[in-house]
Amino acid sequence: MTSNQTQHAPVFSQKEPVVNLALEVGVATLFRLVLSTARRFAYPFAPVLSRGLGVPLTAGTALIAANQATAVVGLFFGPVSDRFGYRVMMLAGLGMLSAGMLAAGFFPFYVVVLVGLFLGGLGKSVFDPALQAYVSERVPYHRRGLVIGLLEVSWAGSALLGIPLVALLIDKLGWRSPFWVLGGLGLLGIVVLRLLIADKNHSRVRQPQTGGLGKSWLRLVQERAALGALGYAFLVSMANDNLFVIYGAWLEKRFSLSIMALGLGASVIGFAELSGETLTAVLADRIGLKRSVLAGISACVICYALLPLLAQTLSLALVGLFIVFLTFEFMIVASTSLFTELLPASRATMMAGYFAAAGIGRVAGALIGGPIWLAGGIQATALVSAAINGLALVCLIWGLRGWRRFCEDA
């Protein structure tokens, strides 16, 4: 029996009213949508931001890189959440978002916008692990997939709702307006969550008091289940971004699509994400989280490998992309639900490590995606992503071998 099996279970109230919990989750999901929109909107609007700031597009893409780097920095806040409480860090994440967005809106200089987007991304990297740890304390394991799946709807919502609203704001009020609106919504979130979420003793886990914060980070690599989860997160994220960074170029070259038509591909991915999150909420708890993850990653390997065969027509190619991103999202949300239970005494630390590993994987995928596609087209991209996912499956099986939860929910 590994040490994570012997850790104390978190202290929480089994009698917390379902209505109260549903309200907390619903409101937190709404403000997580705001954070996700702030994290994603620089991608499609990098040229607009570059023109507004009077800098070349290469400098605009640096704004995206700064945003992505926050996933790694967020690792350092996981142990802080476990020690000082999850509500504190959720409020801190919204505070970072507000400070960054409002500074960028009121002071439209490149360095300020760069720092503002970094703070907005960091706010999400701080908020997400704390929120998922907070929810995981209150939701029994056999209902975890449902609630985490509902939380993750905010990610798809940022693509289907948040980004179009940002486009509308930019079109009507100029490129600075999204920063003001997102910053204002962050301030509103601080007030609402401060009033809604109680900071009671049961909102915190029992954390060993010896060894400091470094002890929490060290635990991530000492526990085989956690180490396997980190390797899995890195590999599946690398495989996904290997395809994600070139799918637009592939569709444009293969089918001679216009810019507006390429927007259809983004919508397809947004609906695929929403479908995957919904499927997780409905199905994962019924078949079990571990089985869901293993089935999802196995399906993902097959879907990547079959993608080149569907490249004969635009309709088939879009169907292929939809299936790939649906299975990926199902796999990711189910694994997020599962991994909240790997280190029950250090949930936020575990999830911060998970997001950091995934962030590094996305960077690696973005770096290899272009050269692989240029060298071998969609066939090479698909087969490399399938192979990387196969390695992730092996890594996960190794990590979970012999792992058991500290207790079983009735």
* Distance from C-alpha of 328 to C-alpha of 324, rounded to nearest angstrom: 6
Q: Check residue 7 and give its pLDDT.
A: 43
DSSP assignment string, 89-150 = HHHHHHHHHHHHHHHHHHS--HHHHHHHHHHHHHHHHHHHHHHHHHHHHHS-GGGHHHHHHH
User: 């997102």: which residue's tokens?
Assistant: 182
Question: What was the pLDDT predicted at 13?
Answer: 42
CA terminus-to-terminus distance, the chain:
22
Residue type, 224: R
pTM of the model: 0.73
pLDDT of res. 41: 82
Residue carrying the six token digits 């703070």: 119
Burial 106-135 (b: 16+ CB within 10 A, else e): eebebebbbbbbbbbbbbbbbbbbbbbbbb
Length of the chain, please? Answer: 410
How far, in Å, CA of 350 to CA of 147, rounded? Answer: 18
Residue corresponding to tokens 């399938």: 386
HSE, CB side, 13 Å, CA atoms: give it for residue 44: 21
Q: Report DSSP state, residue 121.
A: H
> Token digits for 250?
């592939």
Cα 179 from Cα 170, distance rounded (Å):
10
Q: Say what the pLDDT of residue 177 is.
A: 92
Question: For residues 14, 19, 21 and 22, what is the CA-based torsion angle, rounded to 10 degrees?
Answer: 140
Please tell me the predicted confidence (pLDDT) of residue 60: 65
C-alpha–C-alpha distance, residues 67 and 236, integer Å: 20
Residue 192: predicted pLDDT: 92
Residue 61's pLDDT is: 62
CATH number of 3-400: 1.20.1250.20
d(CA 26, CA 20): 10
Average pLDDT by consecutive 10-residue portion of the chain (410 residues)?
Answer: 41 55 85 90 76 77 70 74 80 94 93 91 88 81 77 81 85 90 95 79 44 63 86 94 80 69 68 85 84 92 92 86 91 87 78 85 82 89 95 93 55
Domain positions in the chain are: 3-400
Tell me how far apart the alpha carbons of residues 81 and 87 are, in angstroms, rounded to a whole number. Answer: 8
pLDDT computed for residue 265 by the predictor: 65
Type of residue at 336: T
> Looking at residue 9, what is its pLDDT?
41
